[in-house]
Copies of this chain bind each other. A is one copy, B any other.
Amino acid sequence: MTRKAPTLEDVAREAGVSRATVSRVVNGIRNVDPAIRETVREAIARSGYTPNRAARSLVTRRAGTIALVVSGAGDDTGGERNEFAARALADPFFGRVVSGVVGFLRPRSTHPVLMFAESEDARQQVLAYLRQGSADGALVFSTHAEDPLPGLLAAESLPCVLFARPARPAPVTYVDLDHREGGRLAAEHLLARGCRRGATIAGPLDLPAAQDRLSGFQDTMARHGHPYVPIAEGGFTLDSGASAMKRLLAEHPDIDGVFAANDLMAQGVCQALRASGRRVPRDVAVIGFDDSSAALACFPPLTTVRQPMEEMAATMARLLQEQIEGKRTEPTSVIFEPELVRRESA
Give the B-binding residues of A (Cβ under 8 A): 1-2, 5, 50-55, 57-58, 63-65, 67-68, 78-83, 85-90, 92, 94-96, 98-100, 102-104, 106-107, 109, 111-116, 122, 125, 128-129, 131-134, 157, 238, 267, 270-271, 274, 293-294, 296-297, 299, 310-311, 314
Contact = CB atoms under 8 A, between A and B. Distances in A.
Given A51-B132, A113-B112, A297-B267, A95 B102 contact: no
A134 B53 contact: yes
Contact of A82 (B54, B94, B103): B103
Nearest to A91: B95
A125 B50 CA distance: 11
Contact of A157 (B1, B88, B100, B102): B1
A68 B100 contact: no
- Nearest 3 Cβ contacts at the A-B interface: A89-B95, A54-B57, A86-B99
Given A132-B53, A133-B52, A299-B299, A125 B102 contact: no
A89 B91 CA distance: 10
B113 A113 contact: yes
Nearest to A157: B2
Contacts of A131: 5, 50
Given A54-B133, A81-B103, A297 B297 contact: yes
A274 to B, nearest CB: 7
Contacts of A122: 106
B88 A95 contact: yes
A288 to B, nearest CB: 13
A301 B81 CA distance: 23
Contact of A81 (B99, B114, B125, B271): B99
A102 B118 CA distance: 13
B50 A54 contact: no
Find the residue from A90, A94, A296, A314 having the highest chain B CB count within 10 A.
A90
Contacts of A157: 1-2
A79 B134 CA distance: 27
A85 B107 CA distance: 14
B314 A299 contact: no
A271 B128 CA distance: 47
22 contacts: A50-B128, A52-B58, A53-B134, A54-B55, A54-B63, A58-B58, A65-B134, A80-B310, A80-B314, A85-B98, A85-B103, A86-B98, A86-B99, A89-B98, A89-B99, A106-B116, A111-B114, A111-B115, A112-B114, A238-B296, A274-B299, A297-B297
Given A102-B85, A132-B51, A293 B114 contact: no
Contacts of A50: 128, 131-132
B102 A116 contact: yes
